Structure 1
Amino acid sequence: MHSWRIQVFLGSRMFSTVGDQLLQFAVPLIVYTATGSVSLAGLAFMVEWLPRLFSLPVAGLLTDRFGGRRVYTVADGLRAVACALTLLALFRWPAHTFAWTAALMAVCAFCYAQAFIALESTVPDLVPEKDLAKAQSVLQVINSGAGVFGPALGGVLLIWIPPTHLLSVAGAMFAVSALGVLALKGIGSQASRDAGAVRRSVSDDLRVGVRSLTAKPVLLSLVGVSMVVNLMVGLAVATGAALTVGHFKQDDSVFASLQMAVGVLSIAAFVLMPWLLRRVSVYRIGAVAFVVSAVGGVLMGAAPTFPAYVLGYGLCIGLCGLFNVFIRLERLHWIEPEERGRVISLIVLLNQSTMPMAGLLVAVVGGWLPVQTLFLVVGAVASIVYVLVLRPLKSRAVTAQPVEQALSG
């Protein structure tokens, strides 16, 4: 195993992640700047997330059949081409900005799911088992760092170029990522060789997942709590550009401060995680992160000034990484190892279903109800879920035990 291959892969992943963050920063801004409609901005967010959800089961089958390297390369290559074609279309037919950007996000959302699952498949082919934990930590740092660097890069570039030109930068990053992984020959081939031996249908995988999920009340509780968190996050992301530029009357470049606030808090949380694990249980970390996210949502709903809104935005999304650690560790204790992939794919599908739901909610009611009111309503729902679901879960949660006991249980 050559270290240069790992470095090329991680570098490629860094370009891909920054490109994805830059795209998520640019598209809501492009839509709102062109249309002035918060409803269309919310609809664009829904269009972005629906393909991610429905393509998750397909992603696993494609990776098993064709190999992680090939699927990853094609996925990022398609995203690069889609960005270039959309930019050309926006120059030629600017009156159809929403349609072109919505189509772009649909394509990129589908490819994101393929690249994500392919990533999980490719890492073990590159990294020795003893170094897997370190590699996953580096990938987490890349993801968190991209949350800061991507919007910051977008904000700086907006000084010289219009929002639509950010698509060319994102497309170039996807192209570099695809070429980097394409150069790593000899990985991901085992999946292709074994493809004929394993031919699972999507419907069979989903049936197994549904049966295992419904048999475990704890898993259902975890799904319910995660759906509420993702609904709050979805509302925040779907309305960020509209509230920043429209309601608070800030410049386009200031919109980057939202994502930067999230990235800084995410990195800080990641750094503090080992210190926290030595002092409190994983359940307590997850519960506190849930409460802080809900408080951030309420703060966004009640914020009289833009700085207060940025603080609420950061609190709502910035600690999601800590909450996700609790969710991922807890559910592993309740899923049989031989069913883990199929059940988790269904859980992720349900968890993230409220992301496009948030976009649909904004699209439906954003024209006649103040967007900030939605945050107050969802904050109230989160309070009810905490009292009725998350707090009672402590008596059954394995992660409510001391860290050493929970990990060995």
Structure 2
Amino acid sequence: MARRSGALAGFLAADAISLAGTRLSQIAVPWLVLTTTGSATRTGLVAFASLLPLVLAQALCGPWIDRVGARRVAVGFDLASGVAVAAVPLAYAAGWLQFPVLVALVVLTGVLRGPAEAARHAMVPALVRHLGMPTERLTGLVGTTDRLAALVGAAVGGGIVAVLGPATALLVDAGSFVACAAVLAVSTRRVAGCGPTRPTHPSDPPAAYLVQLRDGWDFLRRDPVLLAMVVMVAVTNMLDQGFSSVMLPVWADDSGSGPAAIGLLGACMGGAALAGSLLATWRGDRLPRFRTYVVGYLLAGAPRWVVLALGCPLWAVAAVHVIAGFGAGFINPVLGAVQYKRIPEGLVGRVGALSLASSWSLMPLGGLLAGLAVSGIGLPAGLLLFGAVYLLTTMAPALSPSWREVDRRPQPSAAPEAASASTTARS
């Protein structure tokens, strides 16, 4: 039992370290660009250069996760990410960090981070079996850890950048990648099922990479629930990106609330989301998934857009963000449990990586579309437009009869196309 608890604690700790390091880099890298170039355009270009390669790498790495093993990919790519991140401050100290060099290193870091994150996601089914706990409970614990790490990581990361400077802070970020890899390697070494997927028959040759990649995509597009989930999350991620990067700062400036209000709303929503996630972890396996999904998104979505558009006082906006955060805390445990229950074990790496990449795919457009909306129709109308799209996107799956299958808690079964072309079981 102690070994099982150690695997859980180590996995959650590695996840927290990784996310906290990500929050640190999200502060340090833009600040480094701004302080060295003074260009907002170049800052935006670096942000784009870090996100697009990450998404592409996630989309393409699934077959390698299934071939090499999720644990090995996660540990190896985290170590490589640490080296890539450390190269930024080292090049800065040596006077070699011209802008093209910085962009190249940021692109390399994104390419390496993508497979590491996808591989950690692919380890969840094996951990569920190893720990003998409901999927909803483990996904709830992961969601709670992520929210706590995001809250603490942003605050601590800002302090580290302020005290040490952005370049030195990136050395701390590089150390977080190495620490994540070490904790994950040690704590999960006895977890069965995190190794490479084996052929059904030992004499069968491994399927070609493109065949395996196509298997993952074919399974994803033929499952109406998973496909609807991926599309919905991609759109809402895009809208949330536009909200946080453009609309919320514009509202804070126009209303006279200032940047402190942005921090207040982030704390209100993040703290309430943490509370909701804790409750979902405790009771998630007993909650009806479909109704939890609908209510969670009704609370977390449109109301926070509307309250800003109506010009409500700050206390009312903060109260709505508390309610929205509490509802949001229930969403990821439900969506994660549905995903892991529906994907056959032999396809977890491929389908999971494609799902993760697809969920991030529209985020680079979020700030652009939000800026165009605010410039074209004004902030209140833009907020209402984005809120309406958010509501329609999150409620559209509720109109599909197939979506109600999420309450049936199906056990995964091997997909015919996967069985014929690749593999069906892990060692």
Shorter-chain TM-score bucket reads: 0.7 to 0.9
> Quick one: distance in 2 between partners of 1:102 and 1:240?
27
Letter in 1 for 2:388: A
Residue 191 (1) aligns with residue 198 (2): no
Letter in 2 for 1:160: V
Matches within 5 A, 1:93-172: 96=98, 102-120=103-121, 129-131=130-132, 133=134, 137-172=140-175
Letter in 2 for 1:155: G
Match of 2:363 in 1: 355
Letter in 1 for 2:356: V
> Quick one: distance in 2 between partners of 1:37 and 1:306?
32
Match of 1:16 in 2: 18
**Bigger Cα displacement from structure 2, 330-339 vs 201-210:** 330-339
> Quick one: distance in 2 between partners of 1:124 and 1:319?
25
Match of 2:48 in 1: 46
Query: Are the structure 2 counterparts of residues 303 and 72 from structure 1 closer, same or farther at C-alpha, using a change threshold of 3 Å?
Result: farther
Maintained 8 Å contact 2:290/2:406: yes
2:206 partner SS: coil
Q: 1:23, CA displacement in angstroms?
A: 1.8
Offset from partner CA, 1:236-255 (integer Å, 9 cap, x none): 4544996699877957x997
> Quick one: distance in 1 between partners of 2:303 and 2:16?
31
Q: 1:53, CA displacement in angstroms?
A: 2.0
Query: Are the structure 2 counterparts of residues 303 and 20 from structure 1 closer, same or farther at C-alpha, using a change threshold of 3 Å?
Result: farther
Matches within 5 A, 1:349-388: 349-359=357-367, 361=369, 375-385=383-393
Query: Are the structure 2 counterparts of residues 334 and 184 from structure 1 closer, same or farther at C-alpha, using a change threshold of 3 Å?
Result: closer
> Quick one: distance in 2 between partners of 1:88 and 1:383?
46
1:191 partner SS: coil
Identity of aligned residues (%): 22
Query: Are the structure 2 counterparts of residues 38 and 302 from structure 1 closer, same or farther at C-alpha, using a change threshold of 3 Å?
Result: farther
Query: Are the structure 2 counterparts of residues 119 and 386 from structure 1 closer, same or farther at C-alpha, using a change threshold of 3 Å?
Result: closer
Maintained 8 Å contact 1:230/1:352: yes
Maintained 8 Å contact 1:61/1:200: no
Q: 1:270, CA displacement in angstroms?
A: 0.9
Q: 1:25, CA displacement in angstroms?
A: 3.7
> Quick one: distance in 1 between partners of 2:124 and 2:337?
20
Q: 1:269, CA displacement in angstroms?
A: 1.3
Query: Are the structure 2 counterparts of residues 398 and 62 from structure 1 closer, same or farther at C-alpha, using a change threshold of 3 Å?
Result: same
> Quick one: distance in 2 between partners of 1:281 and 1:139?
20
Matches within 5 A, 1:213-252: 213-239=220-246
Query: Are the structure 2 counterparts of residues 313 and 361 from structure 1 closer, same or farther at C-alpha, using a change threshold of 3 Å?
Result: farther
Query: Are the structure 2 counterparts of residues 328 and 265 from structure 1 closer, same or farther at C-alpha, using a change threshold of 3 Å?
Result: same
> Quick one: distance in 2 between partners of 1:87 and 1:110?
19
Letter in 2 for 1:87: P
> Quick one: distance in 2 between partners of 1:120 and 1:218?
19
> Quick one: distance in 2 between partners of 1:331 and 1:269?
20
Maintained 8 Å contact 1:31/1:40: yes
Letter in 2 for 1:113: G
> Quick one: distance in 2 between partners of 1:356 and 1:60?
22
Match of 1:272 in 2: 279
Match of 1:282 in 2: 289
**Bigger Cα displacement from structure 2, 59-68 vs 254-263:** 254-263
Letter in 2 for 1:23: S
Q: 1:153, CA displacement in angstroms?
A: 0.7
Query: Are the structure 2 counterparts of residues 332 and 167 from structure 1 closer, same or farther at C-alpha, using a change threshold of 3 Å?
Result: closer
Matches within 5 A, 1:315-326: 319-326=327-334
> Quick one: distance in 1 between partners of 2:28 and 2:280?
31
Q: 1:82, CA displacement in angstroms?
A: 2.4
> Quick one: distance in 2 between partners of 1:276 and 1:36?
49
Letter in 1 for 2:195: A
> Quick one: distance in 1 between partners of 2:48 and 2:62?
23
1:160 partner SS: helix
Q: 1:380, CA displacement in angstroms?
A: 3.0
- Superposed CA RMSD in Å reads 4.6
Offset from partner CA, 1:251-304 (integer Å, 9 cap, x none): 7x9976665445323311112226775996322222233232233345566668
Maintained 8 Å contact 2:275/2:326: no
> Quick one: distance in 1 between partners of 2:307 and 2:128?
43
Letter in 2 for 1:263: G
Which residue of 263, 267, 279 maps to 2:270? 263
> Quick one: distance in 2 between partners of 1:348 and 1:24?
19
> Quick one: distance in 1 between partners of 2:326 and 2:98?
34
Letter in 2 for 1:110: V
Maintained 8 Å contact 2:122/2:352: no
Q: How many residues align?
A: 401
> Quick one: distance in 1 between partners of 2:71 and 2:371?
37
2:386 partner SS: helix
Offset from partner CA, 1:42-86 (integer Å, 9 cap, x none): 444433322222212443333344444443333222222222221
2:330 partner SS: helix
Q: 1:24, CA displacement in angstroms?
A: 2.6
Q: 1:147, CA displacement in angstroms?
A: 1.2
Q: 1:166, CA displacement in angstroms?
A: 2.6
Match of 1:327 in 2: 335
Match of 1:398 in 2: 404
Q: 1:200, CA displacement in angstroms?
A: 3.9
Match of 1:62 in 2: 64
Query: Are the structure 2 counterparts of residues 304 and 109 from structure 1 closer, same or farther at C-alpha, using a change threshold of 3 Å?
Result: farther
Letter in 1 for 2:108: V
> Quick one: distance in 1 between partners of 2:144 and 2:286?
23
Offset from partner CA, 1:77-105 (integer Å, 9 cap, x none): 222222222123445669956x5664444
